[in-house]
Amino acid sequence: MNKFTSLFAVATALLLGNQCIAQSRVVQSFNDDWKFYKANNSTFFTDFENGQKYFESQSQWTKLEVWEDVTLPHTYNRTDMQTDRNFFEGKAVYTKTFSVDAASKDKRTFIKFEGVGAIAKLYINDNFIGEHKGGYSMFTYEITNSVNYDKPNTITVIADNASRKDIIPINQFLFPVYGGIYRPVHLITTNKTSFVVTDRAAPGIQIRQQNVSAKNADIEVSAKLETKEKTAQAAELWVEIRDYDGKLVQTEKQPVKISPQGVTYVKQAVKMKSPRLWDGIRDPYLYSVTAKIMSGGKELDAVKQPLGVRKVEINGGQNVLLNGKPYPMYGVCRHQDREGFGSALSFAQHKEDMLMIKEMGATTIRLAHYQQSPEIYSLADTLGFLTWAEIPFVNRVSYYENDNAKQQMTELVKQNMNHPSIYIWGVHNEVYSKTADEQVPVLSRELNDIAKTLDPDRYTVAVTGYNVVDRQENLTTDVQGINHYFGWYGGKIEDLGPWAKKVQQDFPGYKIMLSEYGADGNMDIGQEELKMPDNVVSGKSFPENYQTETHIQQWAAIQQNPIIVASYVWNMFEFAVPAWNRGGVNARNLKGLVSFDRKRKKDSFYWYKANWNPEPMIYLANRRDNERTKAQGKVQVFSNLKDVKLEVNGKSYTAKQGVNDKHWVVEQVDLKQGQNTIVAVGKDGSKELRDEMVWNLK
């Protein structure tokens, strides 16, 4: 088993957790044999949701020929939201017949959804169980008293992705809210005495770590326990810490008395000596924490969570420290959708995304603009990416979303705070007010308080789309994020550097991150000259070379300005935007460094790989600007080698360094009529690395 196979095995084990450690709790996949009906019929849903029988019984209407057999994850917008603004937005129904093991009759049964876009109404055997509002967080319902243990059961889920002013995000303008049960579902069985399962779908234990160093670490495990037995249950809480290989490192035990009334709260302190630290991409070492409820030598319940022992510090105007050492914050943003699949992605597709980010050399990820799959957080733990997690309070405000924003903030933190990769919670992105007394700053302070109350040890961040640090909506959180596209939505490419210097002068010591920057680039549009598109909002031609130049210059400026303690390229991957028609591709944001289908990498991808990934490489840029009209042209090479040479039709040129030591340039090479072969050569010790491209001179 190679290193990465082993790492992903650990990630999968931690993700599935309770399936892998004991039969006291059983977690079963609940993704097969569903039927789906996209009924654009308000009467159907109105009657069903009111508890009336639109047909005589569920068993009859499930026999309709309109039903489609599906396997989860599934979205009903996997293509239409990627085509244009004429997509289906509304309700659809999912149903499934299932049985519950008769041996579970004296146990408890729950159903857990990892994500339904965007509102889910749940029915078991025609009984309404509950409604969840929000398309990105997990939710769990107990169905113990609604299922039959001696005959088949029917589950029905009505999914609705219509925009609503009381549920964030309130529109579909910046990204699509795909409809459907687009993440996996699990059936969970526990004993009557267990860790709490229904606390906003949190894992039942929360891990807090303080005073972390290579010598010691104070770990605190907070557990929520409950029993449905009639009398108080005398038990023990065991907390076991195991190393990466599964070897038991430490066990702590304490007696507990679990009340049949309410919830029993227990805390267990663990003093780790000489822990191996989770050190980001340098060494993403994972322990695991297994908490058990034991009684009379019998395990009543157990939950397993990752433990990465680490300490993150942000020094405003200087750097980010991980375990006391400077950590390079080479960042990208990531949306969760993919061409032809929408948001209904497999673990293999999530893994492919994360490995591509690793290949480029990134060290940190902003997961924009919503809670993403638990698989993504587990992969971030395993690969060592410091991760920014946020809620979809984004783009517009309605003044009706306060309650839902607070709900989603609570869910995000409770569900994910055990992931060591997460270092910061995001409360909003590009929402504005006229004064500091209005909704956005007031709600932002409340969201910040939720995050800091639930998780006092992590940072919080809010993001503005203006390049102004002290706007009235800003400074409600620990860190200020700035989204600004110098040279795209205003100004010139080279404006980023002077802006950063002015910020350093006016706000020394502030914790400031460039949370988005970049430009659109269409790989299918070549351009010999470097020229900004005439209109970046409605223009139909966004040549790739302008995007490449943006990233060349702006990464060099970021390197030179430590006031920007972290930066995040927008975006790692192209993604769908149904309302847009820009740059030559409808319904697409073209700012990604990789194509929507993940099959092609842009020049900018290799620019960052040369700067961020120490593996020796050499790459000729502007290879798609291959139709030339001038007999001389500029050639750029991206390489982390110490010496780079260039040959054009056999003629040698010495490349000079450009904006930094990864940028090699020959300002003028001679071209001949017809085909011109351009070769870049560099050496890594005795090994020669080469790249080749062809330009055609008319």
In this predicted model, what pLDDT tens digit does every residue of 386-420 receive, in sequence order? 999 999 999 999 999 999 999 999 999 999 999 99
State how far the Cα of 93 lies from the Cα of 87, in Å rounded to an integer: 17
Predicted pLDDT at 66: 80
| Mean pLDDT for the stretch of residues 17-38 | 80
Q: What is the mean pLDDT of residues 380-384?
A: 98
∠ CA 208-135-378, rounded to 5°:
40
654, β-bridge pairs: 645
Q: Where in the chain is the domain with CATH 2.60.120.260?
A: 31-191
CATH number, domain 325-615, options 3.20.20.80, 2.60.40.10, 3.30.750.24, 3.40.50.300: 3.20.20.80
Whether the per-residue pLDDT at 53 is higher than 60: the answer is: no
pLDDT above 80 for 17: no
Tens digits of residue pLDDT in 540-556: 999 999 999 999 999 99
Instruction: Render pLDDT for 466-524 as a digit per residue (tens, 0 to 9).
Output: 999 999 999 999 999 999 999 999 999 999 999 999 999 999 999 999 999 999 999 99
Q: Which of 17-21, 158-162, 326-330, 648-652 has the least mean pLDDT?
A: 17-21
CA dist 203 and 341 (Å) reads: 29
Q: Is the pLDDT of residue 333 over 90?
A: yes
Q: What is the pLDDT of residue 40?
A: 64
Pseudo-torsion of CA 606, 611, 614, 619, nearest 10°?
30
% of the chain exceeding 90 in pLDDT? 92
pTM: 0.95
Selecting among 240, 430, 473, 574, the annotated active-site residue is 430
Asked if residue 11 has pLDDT above 90, the reply is no
CATH superfamily, region 202-307: Immunoglobulins (2.60.40.10)
Q: Residues 87-99: pLDDT tens digits?
A: 999 999 999 999 9
- Pairing of the two strands 364-367 and 330-334: parallel
User: Is the confidence at residue 63, as pLDDT, over 70?
Assistant: no
- CATH fold of 627-697: Immunoglobulin-like (2.60.40)
pLDDT in tens, 241-269: 999 999 999 999 999 999 999 999 999 99
Interacting residues of 348 by C-beta distance below 8 A, sequence separation 6+: none
Residue 252 annotated in active site: no
Q: Which of 30-39, 160-169, 367-376 has the lowest mean pLDDT?
A: 30-39
Rounded mean pLDDT, 650-655: 96
d(CA 468, CA 462): 13
pLDDT in tens, 564-575: 999 999 999 999
Q: Count other C-beta atoms under 10 Å from residue 264's C-beta.
A: 21
Strands 205-210 and 185-190: unpaired
Averaged confidence pLDDT in the chain: 94
**Mean pLDDT confidence for 215-226:** 98
What band does 54 get if pLDDT is binned at 50, 70 and 90? very low
Distance, CA of 298 to CA of 512 (rounded, Å): 52
Q: What was the pLDDT predicted at 38?
A: 87
The pLDDT confidence band at residue 121, using thresholds 50, 70 and 90, is very high
pLDDT > 70: percent of the chain: 93
Distance CA 289, CA 204 (A): 12
Residue 323 above 90 pLDDT?
yes
In the chain, CATH 2.60.40.10 covers 202-307, 627-697
The domain defined by 31-191 folds into Jelly Rolls (2.60.120)
- Model confidence band, residue 19 (pLDDT cutoffs 50, 70, 90): very low
Tell me the pLDDT band of 64, cut-offs 50, 70 and 90.
Answer: low
For residue 20, pLDDT beyond 70: no
